[in-house]
Amino acid sequence: MTDSTQNTQTVAVITGASSGIGLATAHKVASQGCQKLYLIAKTADKLQQAADQLRQTFPRATVETVTIDVGDTNAVRTAFATICSQEEKIDYLLLAAGISESENLAESHDTKGFEHDIQVNLTGMYACLLYAKPCLKPGSSVVTIASIRGQTPSPSGLGYAASKSGVISLTQASALQLGPVGVRVNCISPGAVYPTGMSAHWGAEKRQRIADDSPLGKLTTPEDIANAAWFFFSDESRAITGQTLNCNAGDFMS
């Protein structure tokens, strides 16, 4: 029996779903037979376009949109209360929403960008986990998105780096706490991913330079991350929890 026949009644909730990793993962889980998807993002028109694209490609899937900023924890609470009032269980939860607004220490003159990165990337992720908890049941799988910048130093983006390091620790602690109830929590740590909301402006020269600098000589795509997420969602990883998978064309090896 294939995954697509096993997963005809599954429910997925995806943050950061209007583009990049989130949207690619939505397409991946739908391709594997997931029939109910909740797409969460902060920009209504982009989110609607993503949902329409998904419905056109997978007409059997039911696609709902939730327009919120995950940095607004009250909005997150309301959104998951609504979802959990309609669904008994969230099978797949991908927490991919993220921003990078902080500068390096030498250039920064206040804490605004740092605080916003932490609020969205870390506090917002925790809020999603917290308020999704009533729908996380035995067999549920959670995948968080960190970054290579949470594992290796960078001269810029201190808030981003700190928040993504926190995501890895949050993943491990959540895996310990949710494991006894049969919920797995794992993390994917990408390097340079193109195209995403953060990298869409990269020109051809920059993309080639980044690819050339990686051991595999290529850029990581959102679909690469989506494939890794599906591995964590599937029963093939049923004995894996609390782990961070580096998916970055070899840019960082631990």
Exposed, middle or buried: residue 236 (CB in 10 Å: 0-12, 13-18, 19+)? exposed
At 78, give phi and psi (nearest 5°). Answer: -65, -40
Give the total residue count for the chain: 254
- pLDDT on residue 16: 98
Q: What is the DSSP letter of 133?
A: G
Q: Give yes or no for a cis peptide into 180 (omega within 30° of 0).
A: no
pLDDT of residue 5: 39
Do 118 and 163 contact (CB within 8 A), yes or no?
Answer: yes
Whether 42 is in a domain gets the answer yes
pLDDT the model gives residue 107: 82
249: phi > 0 → left, psi -120 to 50 → alpha, else beta; which? Answer: left
Structural domain includes residue 252: no
Residue 221 lies in a domain: yes
Q: What is the pLDDT of residue 207?
A: 67
Measured CA to CA, the distance from residue 132 to residue 141 in angstroms comes to: 12
Residue 212 resides in a domain: yes
Is residue 233 situated within a structural domain?
yes
**CATH (domain of 97):** 3.40.50.720
What was the pLDDT predicted at 203? 64
| Residue segments in the chain with a per-residue pLDDT below the cut of 50 | 1-8
Cβ–Cβ under 8 Å, residues 94 and 143: yes
Phi/psi at 94 (nearest 5 deg)? -105, 125
Q: State the pTM of this model.
A: 0.91
235's tokens: 């029963």
Q: Is residue 29 part of a domain?
A: yes
Whether residue 118 lies inside any domain: the answer is: yes
**Residue 217 belongs to what domain range?**
3-247
Inter-residue contact 22 to 97 (CB < 8 Å): yes
pLDDT at 106 (0 to 100): 77
Distance CA 131, CA 80 (A): 6
Is 253 a member of any domain? Answer: no
- Looking at the structure of the chain, the number of domains it has is 1
